[in-house]
């Protein structure tokens, strides 16, 4: 069991163009949401599509790749790890976030891209 790690693999479509910024220390970061779909049959035999949205975060080279090559609607595969965090607003409201920190991309929208791109 020591080989089990925090890994997530998603394949889906981007819901918007990536948002890019630099932190106060100069690190590049990009964020975007990806939609994944699955279908299942209800007990009445009716097919239902279930869409889930996942927040992706990429740092440095991954952020550059997002900014330069990915757009709303891009069909991508992602390998990453789950990260849970929380933030507190000025009024004391606490918000919880789940994100996938990207380690590799595969861009299915870009022809000729057969390899996954590690970061």
pLDDT, residue 119, reads 56
Question: Is residue 1 predicted with pLDDT exceeding 80?
Answer: no
Tokens (6 digits) for 77: 């595969």
Over the stretch 80-118, which tens digit does the pLDDT of each residue have? 999 999 999 999 999 999 999 999 999 998 765 555 666
Residue 27 has φ and ψ, to the nearest 5°, of -75, 140
Contacts of 35 (CB under 8 A, 6+ apart): 12, 13, 14, 15, 51, 52, 53, 54
Quick one: pLDDT band at residue 2, thresholds 50, 70, 90? low
pLDDT, residue 115, reads 57
Identify whether the C-beta of residue 30 lies closer than 8 Å to the C-beta of residue 16: no
pLDDT, residue 5, reads 86
| CATH number for the domain formed by residue range(s) 8-109 | 2.40.50.140
Domain layout of the chain by residue ranges: 8-109
Contacts of 67 (CB under 8 A, 6+ apart): 18, 20, 30
Cα-based angle 71, 98, 102 (whole degrees, multiple of 5): 45
- Beta strands, E only, 42-91: 47-59, 75-88
Over the stretch 27-86, which tens digit does the pLDDT of each residue have? 999 999 999 999 999 999 999 999 999 999 999 999 999 999 999 999 999 999 999 999
**Beta strands 47-59 and 94-107, pairing class:** parallel
């Amino acid at each position: 069991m020591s080989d089990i790690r925090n890994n997530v693999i998603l394949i889906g479509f981007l819901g918007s163009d990536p948002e890019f910024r630099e932190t106060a220390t100069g690190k590049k970061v990009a964020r975007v949401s990806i939609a994944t779909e699955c279908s299942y049959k209800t007990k009445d035999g009716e097919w239902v599509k279930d869409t889930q949205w996942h927040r992706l975060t990429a740092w440095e080279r991954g952020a550059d790749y997002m900014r330069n090559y990915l757009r709303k609607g891009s069909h991508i595969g992602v390998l990453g790890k789950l990260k849970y965090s929380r933030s507190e607003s000025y009024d004391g409201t606490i918000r919880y976030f789940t994100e996938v920190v990207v380690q590799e991309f595969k861009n299915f929208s870009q022809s000729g891209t057969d390899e996954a791109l590690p970061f």
